[in-house]
Chains A and B, each alone.
Chain A
Amino acid sequence: MAKVVTAKKACVVNPLKMSQPIGGALAFMGLRGCMPLLHGSQGCTSFALVLFVRHFKEAIPLQTTAMSEVATVLGGYENVEQAVLNIIKRTKPEIIGICSTGVTETKGDDVDGYIRLIRQNHPELADFPMVYVSTPDFKDAFQDGWEKAVTRMVEELVKGPVNPARRDPTLVNVLPGSHLTPGDIEELRTIIEDFGLEPTFLPDLGGSLDGHIPVDFTPTTIGGVGVNEVAAMGHAGWTIAIGEQMRAAAVALENKAGVPFRLFERLCGLGPNDAFIAFLSEISGRPAPLKYRRQRGQLIDAMLDGHFHLGGRKLAIGAEPDLLYDVGSFLHEMGAHIEAAVTTTHSPVLENLATEEVLIGDLEDLETQARGKGCDLLVTHSHGRQAAERLKIPFHRLGIPMFDRLGAGHKLSVGYRGGRELIFAVANLLIAHREDNHQVAPDSFYDSRREWANDSGAAIATVQRH
């Protein structure tokens, strides 16, 4: 049981956290033909664009209502209306997803009301899909924005209630948390399909931000889950929610269309995937395909090989709650000790992390704790690079943003294969670090001998040394 504490500082130093609206915007990028729209000043959108482009190395669809100083005072109806009209004219989207920002929330813009008014004033838009989510910058974090956006998508887009008799048990809804990569989504799609089930992912970043070459250039998202497919999610036999953050959306889906759900807090590591495979077996009525029996064996093999390197490591890890819990727990299961854990926002899973304390804080906190506790493995997003350099310890990049390495969108942590890959990545990092920094030399053990000596009497050490 971990104690969850919030850092008491007036000044955040080296933020771990990113803002809610862009978490919401990323969720909208998992819808097909979607144009996410931030209701706020242009700069917020510009920063978000740069961030996602650097992370995914893809063109990113994202628009702004371009609120000027005057508009923020007067209220943003006109800006939202104009933005919607312009986007429809220019990019012909299938849906527009709107997230508020700090600026428009401070004024208290009633965007739901604006949307009603837009529909009234432009009858041709009466049925045009628009989903709004309130995501003030000065509250919560990236993961919360994603959570709220997906919940709103369910509330707005899923048709219900559905007669249970018309439900198709081979259809499965999957609600992935923001901690899963497009690569994770693809892996899950394969696994679920291998059980003869047909998954619908909401959102589906696997289809949109997976780096495939588009057939033509479209300014909106390509791939992703279509509005019609979301509408039909009520017909599925089950919903699988991944990460505690997806509970709200799963509950909303159950309330709206009566689809029962099963929530997997984790999908990284052996135990969680055993549970997942067992569940798929159960709902599909099929035994686990041979492939997964082999993959399980490979994971176990990797765990055995990897534990030599990970066992006893003192881990400092900073990530959003679900990612922290998922990957942190797995590294703990591999023998690492979670000495320092920092996260961005509250979540019930934090208490279950195998460590003493989880701090809602920043990378300065993580760095300070890592130094104080002598950690020898740092795991966090790319912004941890400065801390790693100062601490001179191996650094594994995890989460968004990952702008200084390639393949962020394809990093795998789910499934038996995901665990295997993670172990190899971290263990190789540790091996390389040791080779670069800790080659054994004739005098390597003098220091430790001296340490022992210090305990019993410094004189001996000096004698031995000479």
Chain B
Amino acid sequence: MTSLSATIKDVFNEPSCAKNATKSEAEKKKGCTKQLQPGGAAGGCAFDGAKIALQPFTDVAHLVHGPIACEGNSWDNRGAASSGSSLWRTSFTTDINETDVIFGGEKRLFKACKEIIEKYDPPAIFVYQTCVPAMIGDDIVAVCKAASAKFNKPVIPVNAPGFVGPKNLGNKLAGEALLDHVIGTVEPEYTTPYDINIIGEFNLSGELWQVKPLLDELGIRILSCISGDGRYNEVASAHRARASMMVCSKAMINVARKMEERYGIPFFEGSFYGIEDSSDSLREIARLLILRGAPEELMERVENVIAREEARAWAAIAAYKPRFKGKKVLLITGGVKSWSVVAALQEAGLELAGTSVKKSTREDKERIKELMGQDAHMIEDMTPREMYKMLKDARADIMLSGGRSQFVALKATMPWLDINQERHHAYMGYVGMVKLMAEIDRTLYNPVWEQVRQPAPWDRPGDSWQDRALAEIAEEEAEIAADPVRAEAARRAEKICLCKNVDLGAIEDAIREFGLTTVEGVKEKTNAAAGCGACAIKIEEIFEASDIVGLPTDAQTIAAE
């Protein structure tokens, strides 16, 4: 087994990973690499994930070893902010050519390291592996080792070629690179009982700085942030922190857990999105620091700051409550923000029209369910037209989502706000939440919506494209409703497992045919939930909600007697 596949396997055995905990042994071996569907939508590759996780280290030279596709098409496309060096925004790539593909690219990579050191002299170089050099067998670990020795400078291999899996995996492999080669290699100049690590926070739009002043005020020092506005020497000395906070629920949990294991640094999983989350996180930081020997009075100071900040934020948000009354939000996002933003929106009195949790783990989903109660309306794989209809039916007044889906909302002439990585505003901490409300308000009440919805002079009433689209949908729905066979077919066609493309009908049939009673059983027979596993909860709901009674199996019959 190559070292990379060993690392991948190790990452999948991550016990703290909620997603993995729900998996059987056999599946764990298969790993989280959900089998992608050719011709299905594309998400980022492992390399992308690794770079997202590490690139916010500002003073490091990030060198991408591969053909121009991996770096040339994508560089300088993230809004992380730096308080110091801007080297992280300088793009370095070996741009390998045909000759390299035939004879190997290792020499070019070594020379590239040399050129970077000569010209830019960074404290370290991170070398990212990509698919083509991985295929031709370029050994970046060996090259990095040789370059480190020769130039007397950390040259760190980040072995996460795109095709080994999705972004999430790349985040973790990036974490492994830090654990293997960086963390613990430098001693901090001094330490305090108030030193913490923040892990999985990338300082997009400078959001970390919405929280940092509070930490500064409390005398809590961010020894290392992995990786937002981070420096190489900070992360290299991160092993001396007293406690860690994991910000993004999945991205780099392996880093937090292994640092606990190796250096005895306790961690908690928290968030600075939302007021209550922020307060909880501050308390948790204080609790862990006190546990590690910080004076107890810290907690009192933290409570004072929390009380002050909450009062301020609530007062500011209260102003929006009347304006948001009765307004519904459609939230389409994945991962950590699903639940933390839900909490925040509810704090401001907004109602949730539904939320898609395409990329979230089961745990996230459950958190959302908790937060939203039984009314939670999960929208997994809405087509743009359905999304439009939903917005149009005024079941939602505004959509919050990532940059890529904005056009659906905008073309439907509906208010939309970006809450993923391309956004230009920072929404963290108490300040950030007020900022988010201000942005929602600004968007919702912009008079432009009235303007752009005006019919064109040549439109006859009821004949705009919007009207026609809605009429078509209504017609289709009516047709389907009038035809029980089609209605049933449509009901059965609902996709339950997106990874393996399994619909409701197939699952119901399997339940009936094999008398299944567990998610495991459904998985075995239909392959549903054998991908990312996030749909397990939906399968449970099928069991709960449906009156499908499986044919009693022999075992059950016997037991019943």
Interfacial residues, chain A to chain B (CB-CB below 8 A): 9-15, 17-19, 21-22, 37, 40-51, 53-54, 57-59, 62-69, 72-73, 78-80, 82-87, 90, 101-103, 106-107, 136-139, 141, 213-217, 219, 383, 386, 403
Contact = CB atoms under 8 A, between A and B. Distances in A.
A12 B108 CA distance: 11
B43 to A, nearest CB: 6
A364 B77 CA distance: 18
Nearest to A85: B39
Contact of A137 (B45, B69, B166, B411): B69
28 contacts: A10-B109, A10-B115, A11-B94, A11-B115, A11-B116, A15-B75, A19-B69, A40-B131, A42-B44, A43-B131, A43-B162, A44-B45, A47-B44, A50-B77, A58-B407, A59-B407, A66-B36, A66-B40, A68-B163, A69-B134, A69-B161, A83-B38, A138-B132, A141-B68, A214-B465, A215-B468, A216-B465, A217-B411
A93 to B, nearest CB: 11
B135 interface: yes
Interface string B99-143: 011000001111111111001000000000001101110000000
Contacts of A84: 39
B384 interface: yes
A10 B94 contact: yes
Interface string B370-395: 00000000000001110010000000
Interface centre among A15, A37, A40 (most CB of B within 10 A): A15
Interface in B44-101: 44-48, 63, 66-77, 86, 89-98, 100-101
B97 A47 contact: no
B446 to A, nearest CB: 17
Interface residues of B, number: 76
B67 A11 contact: no
B67 A63 contact: no
Contact of A14 (B67, B91, B408): B91
B68 A49 contact: no
Interface centre among B41, B47, B112, B469 (most CB of A within 10 A): B41
A72 B161 CA distance: 12
B48 A47 contact: yes
B164 interface: yes
Nearest to A66: B36
B162 A44 contact: yes
B411 A213 contact: yes
B72 A106 contact: no
A49 B39 contact: no
A216 B384 CA distance: 9
Contact of B67 (A19, A51, A59, A219): A19
B42 A18 contact: no
Contacts of A68: 33, 35-36, 163
A17 B93 CA distance: 11
Nearest to A382: B76
Contacts of A21: 69
B262 interface: no
B68 A18 contact: yes
A387 B223 CA distance: 32
Nearest to B91: A14
A109 to B, nearest CB: 12
B503 to A, nearest CB: 13
Contact of A43 (B44, B89, B119, B385): B44
B296 interface: no
Contact of B45 (A42, A90, A403): A42
Given A41-B162, A43-B46, A86-B37, A11 B93 contact: yes
Given A72-B135, A386-B90, A66 B69 contact: no
A136 to B, nearest CB: 7
A217 B383 contact: yes
Contact of B42 (A45, A106, A403): A45
Contacts of B162: 41-44
Contacts of B96: 138
Nearest to A138: B67
A79 to B, nearest CB: 4
Considering the complex of A and B, which 7 residue pairs feature the smallest CB-CB distances, nearest first? A43-B45, A86-B39, A11-B112, A10-B111, A83-B38, A83-B39, A137-B67
B94 A22 contact: no
B552 interface: no
Contacts of A219: 384
Given A19-B67, A82-B37, A216-B385, 4 more contacts: A19-B72, A43-B46, A82-B39, A219-B384
